Chain A
Amino acid sequence: MALSNLKEYVRPDELDVALSLVKERGTSARVIGGGIDLVRSSSPDIETLVDLSHLSLSYVRQTDKGVAIGATTTLTEILEAPALENYLQGVVVEMLHQVGAPPLRNLASMGGTLASAHPWSDVITLFLALGAQVTLYNGVTRMVPLSDLYASRALLSPAIITEALLPAYAKGTAAAFMKFSRTKFDIAILNCACLISTQNGDCKGVRLTAGGTPQLATLLPAAAEVLLGRRLNQTSIGQAAGIARETTLVRDDLRASGNYRRELVYAGVKRCLTCVSRQLSGVSQ
């Protein structure tokens, strides 16, 4: 029995009902998206599961603000969504191809992925770099930067993630993602992402992230800073990667040592930036 003390499995038709269930039942209740982590956890504390699949939250939509992704949308549905095919040269699709494998991607939901916040999450590493926003519902709806969610997990108690928004970017912006793992069907022992917006070829906005360090992804502000106002070339890229190597907090776990992760931060940031630089020069031509 996966969840031995589970007593009720509810599939409300309204968001308010879902929220009040979560509020009433307190810590014994969990919201279930794909359910992968819940089943794997075999937690005896869980008595109620609130399934959001009847709330019409499975969608990927192009809006004026960007691409909106409903909370119960599976990773496969995101991967196959036409709206993301060309979003930042398909960086989200490319990342998702590297997440787990089809039998997992068909279960895992966007909301569950963001809520579970696995430190190795490829989605979170990239979404943070992309400046994703999340919509939370706790009786009222509000949108916060994804990074706020991890700065304060209190935002989720109690609240339900209903949507993520990947902002629209103007021309001259590019992003890249890089994952290192032991085999291809594996979690990252380190992942990196970057988003660069340029003006006249100079970096205007830079966001670099590294995850699986083995902590959850964080921004690498010092490395980003060094690129501002500069062109992406071997020198600037090498400098940024070097700073990332020195400043990223890394440590050992059974999958890799901290020192090795440091080298991966260097290689990952360098390769992400090189990839972005290539994309940007392609655009300007």
Chain B
Amino acid sequence: MCEQRKQEFTIVGRSERKVDGIALVTGKPKFVADIDLSNMLYVKILHSPYAHARITEINTSRAEALPGVMCVLCSKNTPSTRYTTAGQGYPEPSPYDTRMFDTKVRFVGDRVAAVAAETEEIALQALKEIEVHYEELSPVLSVDAATALEAPIIHDEKDATGIFDPVRNISAKIDINVGDVKQGFAESDSTVETTCETQYAQHTPIEPHVVLSYLDEDGRLVLRTSTQVPFHTRRIVSYVLGIPLHRIRVIKPRIGGAFGTKQEILLEDLAGLVTLRTGRPALIEFTRQEEFVSARTRHPMRIRVKLGAKKNGILHAIEMEALSNTGAYGAHSLTVLSNVGSKTLPIYNKARNVRFSGKAVYTNLPVAGAYRGYGAPQGYYPLEVAMDELAGKLGLDPIELRRRNHIRCGESSPIFEEIGEGREGVAQTINSCELERCLEIGARRIGWAKKRGLRTRNGPWIHGLGMSIHMQGSGIAQVDMGAATIKMNEDGSFNLLVGATDLGTGSDTILGQIAAEVLGVPLSKVIVYSSDTDFTPFDVGAYASSTTYVSGTAVKRAAEEVRGQIVGVAAAMLESGMTNLTIKDEQVISIDGRSVTLAEVCQRAMYQVDQFQIGATESCVQDQSPPPFMSSFAEVAVDTETGVVKIVDYVAVVDCGTVINPKMAQGQIEGALANGIGYALTEVMLFSSTGRVQNATLFDYKILGALDIPPIDITLLDSYEPTGPMGAKSVAEIGINAPIPTIANAIYDAVGVRLTKTPFTPERVLSAIRSHSV
């Protein structure tokens, strides 16, 4: 067991209001497209109508001749550099298989050309004037077609790098062995095996991708963009366009949601090139249709899980084999695949024999990328369904089976070391884990003992209960880096400058809370700014649940350094030893009760004696990635006449270490659960026989609305992660792992059918019920 180190906090642990909240609720122009620049050009993109084709000829002269058209871009007049759109740490573990405009198109929606014009209407008109001749190639529209013998080769270009096996359409591959699973299964008393398949699903931030580019007074390229990764954007745009990095400035204003889809460089290269070519500001906004077709999706996967256990219910062998569809390009193909195993298997660390293998294959379908959960939701589905089956087979309560097997404080898993982000991982011991309490509290709150297995009937409705447990990580150990700068102003306020990228999560607020806590000031005295590559220090960006843990630690360190400087100045003012001083309520107070205000400290440092700027920049790279943990429970009612699954109640109990801001942490979990419930029940991208997205609208791609949300009961456990800032871990992703297996298991409890394909549409559920009872 780990010790609980309780600390008393003043600002941390309080549901402070969002620092950017007033501007947001009053509709201030905080988002990318909310500023008007004179002389701005509108850019529209011509997308491929074919899933797989070679462009044999492209003629843009008629489009160029159209009055008002300023620039037409295509493969003929743009850089041919291969790169990855994935905004990841450098060098990126994703293959360089993308070109700004290629001579081959690989999915319906791929870039063919772009027009910049005086108005949107002219740009759209000009797109129609571009003549393109295609040589159609046979499209590869499923993972099975991609892996079939003599399948068409999607990436036959010679200049791509980092593709595992282009000839066999394999973007990435992984194979990890711990112990010997074959022998492990032979030694097991009981085994179960299940294969689950997940669908093409989309992030659908309410603000689609948007970028505004312009040249500043010194001719530098400024990209004001809706991104999770401003620094990666700067690096990748510099590389693709072949211009020096120092000639680019990336500004991230407020972001209208992202969930991973804005961890990609999808438009910035294009807007930047238009601006460089024309000298004029350029705006590119994806329409909702383009967002569906040409942005990013979650990797659809088919995953087989086999579990072997001893009679006592202790897991002895786990085998997980994943087949991932990365779509036309390999953005995040290896790393998402890795996470299928690395974020799931350590939770059952008792198994001595573990194999995780998989491949990510190319298809001529929309491109998959980073999406909240990053492979873990796909992995937990078969794992937690198999655990439910195993419990049944062993005659154990599913909670009891988890209790006997889950990881605990002070323990480790070889998987941590085996699987990293596209390379080996980092060994780590769990320093905080409240899974036992998560299980106990969750079971109580859902009424597990009373309600499960009863199959209570109410007309055509039958009730059932299901559960699952989960972990995620907090950043990527030894990869993710965050830095923070704090400088003091002479009224006793502070500027906190972070590269960490608040994309609506509230990270500006919680980072501000961490700084305010250390500096002994109210949050209102911390002016938080994120992010601008010219002014804020480097941060990899907002992904992998890294901000609270990694960037938060950088903020804490910077604040501590600044605090030290303040105390130093105050010591001179109060003629006291530094150790006799404390900072509280915006004052430095000595042991004998004398005090100076922070404003006075800064005024002295700025204007009077031994002048210097009180301030510091600190960085953080962590050696571990402490997982948040959760238990998830649902009561469902299944309509046996229509197959409709209604969630009657949802309970989640989460251990994310110290909770910096309770309302915001709850909000992260509620949002992730809502997204996950939609992923489980309604969301699915549908394709025509030629690979075209058939439901590229919010009219027919159904995300949940307010009326669809079940009662959600969240408990945040009091927990403490010794390596985290103020004891905190991260919390943004974990919730999305839970709904699919939890609901699947609840449906099984209700009607006795195992759903192995998402989403659990009424039609699919009804058909499963019917074929079960026949």
Binding site for B on A (CB under 8 A): 1, 4, 101, 180, 182-187, 254-257, 260, 263-264, 266-267, 270
Known: A183-B702, A260-B767, A263-B641. 6 other contacts (CB 8 A): A180-B762, A183-B705, A183-B708, A184-B708, A185-B707, A267-B639
Query: A101 and B705: CB pair below 8 A?
Result: yes
**What bracket does the count of chain B residues touching chain A fall in?**
20 to 34
Residue of B nearest to A241 (CB): B641
CB contact between B763 and one of A183, A186, A256 (< 8 Å): that residue: A256
Contact partners of B644 in chain A: CB under 8 A:
180
Name the A residues within 8 Å of B429 (CB-CB): none
Q: Which of A1, A101, A260, A270 contacts B766 (CB 8 A)?
A: A260
The B contact surface, by secondary structure, is: loop
Residue of B nearest to A267 (CB): B641
Cβ of B690 under 8 Å from chain A: no
CA distance A1 to B644 in the complex (A): 40
Q: How far is the CA of A183 from the CA of B763 in the complex (A)?
A: 14
How far apart sit A281 and B703, CA to CA, in the bound complex (Å)? 40
In the complex the two chains form, is B686's CB within 8 Å of A266's CB? no
A186 CA / B121 CA spacing, docked (Å): 31
- Chain A binding surface SS class: loop
Residues of the A chain whose Cβ atoms lie less than 8 Å from the Cβ of B703: 183
Contacting A260 at CB < 8 Å: which of B682, B695, B763?
A: B763
A254-B695 CB under 8 A given contacts A260-B762, A260-B763: yes
Say yes or no for B648: interface residue by CB 8 A criterion: no
Bound CA–CA A100/B264 (angstroms): 34
B767, closest chain A residue (CB)? A260
Using CB atoms, name the residue of chain A closest to B642.
A267
**Given A184-B707, A185-B705, A254-B700, A266 and B641 contact (CB-CB distance below 8 Å):** yes
B residues lining the A interface (CB < 8 Å)? 121, 460, 639, 641-644, 682, 686, 694-695, 699-700, 702-705, 707-708, 761-763, 766-767
Q: Which residues of B contact A266 (CB under 8 A)?
A: 641
User: A184 to B644, alpha carbons, bound, how many Å?
Assistant: 12
B526 to chain A, nearest CB (A): 38
Partner of B705 from the list A184, A255, A260, A264 (CB cut-off 8 Å) is A184
Write out the residue numbers on chain A whose beta carbons fall within 8 Å of the beta carbon of B460: 267
Nearest-Cβ distance from residue B766 to partner chain A, whole angstroms: 6
Nearest chain B CB to A237 CB, angstrom units: 13
Residues of B with C-beta under 8 A to A256: 763
Known A1-B121, A186-B702, A264-B642; judge A254-B694 contact (CB<8 A). yes
| A255–B682 CA distance with the chains assembled, in angstroms | 11
Chain A residues positioned under 8 Å from B641 (CB to CB): 263, 266-267, 270
Residues of A within 8 A of B767 (CB): 260
B54 → chain A, closest Cβ, in Å?
A: 30
Residues of chain A lying within 8 A (CB to CB) of residue B686: 254
Complex alpha-carbon distance, A182 and B697, angstroms = 14
Please report the C-alpha to C-alpha distance between residue A4 and residue B124 in the assembled complex, in whole angstroms: 12
What is the minimal beta-carbon distance from A251 to any residue of chain B, in angstroms?
14
Interface pair A255/B700, CB less than 8 Å apart: yes
Per the bound structure, the CA–CA distance linking A250 and B682 in Å amounts to: 22
- Chain A residue at smallest Cβ distance from B125: A4
* Closest CB in chain A relative to B683 CB, distance in Å: 9
Q: Which residues from B are CB-within-8-Å of A180?
A: 642, 644, 762
11 A–B contacts from the bound complex (CB under 8 Å): A101-B705, A180-B644, A182-B761, A183-B705, A184-B707, A185-B707, A186-B702, A187-B699, A254-B694, A257-B763, A260-B763
Determine if B707 and A263 form an interchain contact, defined as CB atoms under 8 angstroms apart: no
Q: State the CA gap A183–B682 with chains docked (Å).
A: 7
Residues from chain B with Cβ under 8 Å of A4 in the complex: 121
Q: B704 touching A183 by the CB < 8 A rule?
A: yes
> A182 — which chain B residues lie within 8 A by C-beta?
682, 702, 761
